[in-house]
Amino acid sequence: PAWPDVILGGGGEGQMTAVRQILADLGVEDRVVAIGIAKGPDRDAGRERFFVKGRESFMLPVRDPVLYFVQRLRDEVHRFAIGSHRARRKKEMVKSPLDEIAGIGPGRKRALLLAFGTAKAVSRAAVEDLVKVDGISEHVAKLVYNHFHES
């Protein structure tokens, strides 16, 4: 596989020790440079400390364009990670037991929920009640019923 030239990681010396160990386990510690960036005292932007193997930790001058670039890069990574986490969490929150049933797509799921109100009410419904819903054949109704009643 292709390896990056540099890995920038949030965190100080401890996190970089762990990253370097992983790189060593993968056999690429000599090909990939790992740089740790720890926020300064009181998490103060502009006071970041950099950790690079083989040299003392250091800070860049507050107005250094490289520091500014690294801060923007870090902020964008955080924004992306937080956005991805929120999207995943939102998706998990709208998950339904109906999603696990083969043959139940978004349309049938919507129809069942409109007819019964909740997935729990759908799980308690008899096959005769399920077939009354538009788009639910007897075969699909049996799939739904069996999903909730086979244990």
Q: What is the mean pLDDT of residues 23-35?
A: 94
Residue 139: pLDDT over 90: yes
Q: In whole angstroms, give the CA distance from residue 16 to residue 61.
A: 22
How much is the pLDDT for 109? 92
User: Average pLDDT over the chain, rounded to whole?
Assistant: 89
Residue written as tokens 């998950």?
Answer: 95
Cβ atoms 36, 9 nearer than 8 A: yes
Q: What is the DSSP letter of 74?
A: H
Residue 134 has pLDDT above 90, yes or no: yes
Rg value, the chain, Cα: 27
> Could you confirm whether domain 97-145 is CATH 2.102.10.10?
no
Give the confidence band of 151 by pLDDT, cuts at 50, 70, 90: low
d(CA 93, CA 96) in angstroms, rounded, equals 8
Q: Give residue-wise pLDDT tens across range 37-87.
A: 988 776 666 788 999 988 999 999 989 999 999 989 888 988 999 998 898
Domain extents for the chain? 6-92, 97-145
What's the predicted TM-score (pTM) here?
0.56
Query: Cα separation of 15 and 12, whole Å?
Result: 6
